[in-house]
Amino acid sequence: MNAPNEIRAMLVESAMRLFADHVDAKMLEAAKRDGWSAALWATMESAELPRVSVPEEAGGAGGTVSDLAAMLRVAGRYAAPVPFAETALLANWLLAGAGLELPRGPLVVLTGAPLSAQRSGTGWVVSGVRARVPWARIAARLVGLAEADGQLLVVMVDSGACQIAPGRNLADEPRDQVTLRQVAPLLAAPAAAGVTARALRQRAALGRALLMAGALERALEISIDYAKQRVQFGHPIAQFQAMQQELARAGGEVAVAVAAAFLAAGAVERRGEALTEVAAAKICAANAAREVALIAHQVHGAVGVTNEYPLHHSTLRLWAWRDEDGNEAEWSMALGREVQQQGADALWPLLTRDARAG
Window 289 to 328, contacts with another protein (CB under 8 A):
328
Give the SS3 label for residue 120: strand
Asked if 358 interacts with another protein (CB under 8 A), we say: no
The nearest distance, CB 246 to another protein, in angstroms, is 9
Window 109 to 168, contacts with another protein (CB under 8 A):
none
The 1-40 site mask, x for binding another protein (CB under 8 A), equals xxxxx-----------------------------------
Q: If we measure between CA atoms, which residue out of 51, 42, 13, 76 comes closest to residue 292?
A: 76
Give the residue with the Cβ less far from another protein, 45 or 269. Answer: 269
Asked if 354 interacts with another protein (CB under 8 A), we say: yes
The nearest distance, CB 87 to another protein, in angstroms, is 21
User: Are 170 and 293 spatial neighbours (Cβ–Cβ below 8 Å)?
Assistant: no
Among 103, 105, 167, 251, binds another protein (CB under 8 A): 251
Q: Per residue, what are the HEC states of 132-152?
A: EEECHHHCCEEEEEEEECCEE
Give the residue with the Cβ less far from another protein, 70 or 126. Answer: 70
Asked if 232 interacts with another protein (CB under 8 A), we say: no
- Distance (Å, whole) CA 82 – CA 75: 9
User: Are 55 and 62 spatial neighbours (Cβ–Cβ below 8 Å)?
Assistant: yes
For residue 276, give every residue at least 6 positions away whose Cβ sits within 8 Å of its Cβ, in sequence order, or none.
Answer: 267, 335, 338, 350
Among 200, 279, 295, 299, binds another protein (CB under 8 A): 279
The 321-340 site mask, x for binding another protein (CB under 8 A), equals -------xx-xxxxxxx-xx
- Distance (Å, whole) CA 277 – CA 263: 7
Long-range contacts of 349-357 (CB under 8 A, 24+ apart): 350/276, 355/266, 355/267, 355/270, 356/270, 356/271
For residue 299, give every residue at least 6 positions away whose Cβ sits within 8 Å of its Cβ, in sequence order, or none.
Answer: 223, 226, 227, 237, 243, 246, 247
> Which residues of this chain interact with another protein, rule CB under 8 A?
1-5, 64-66, 69, 217, 220-221, 224, 227-228, 236, 238-239, 241, 244-245, 247-249, 251-256, 258-260, 262-263, 265-266, 269, 276-277, 279-280, 283-284, 287, 328-329, 331-337, 339-341, 343-345, 347-348, 350-352, 354-356
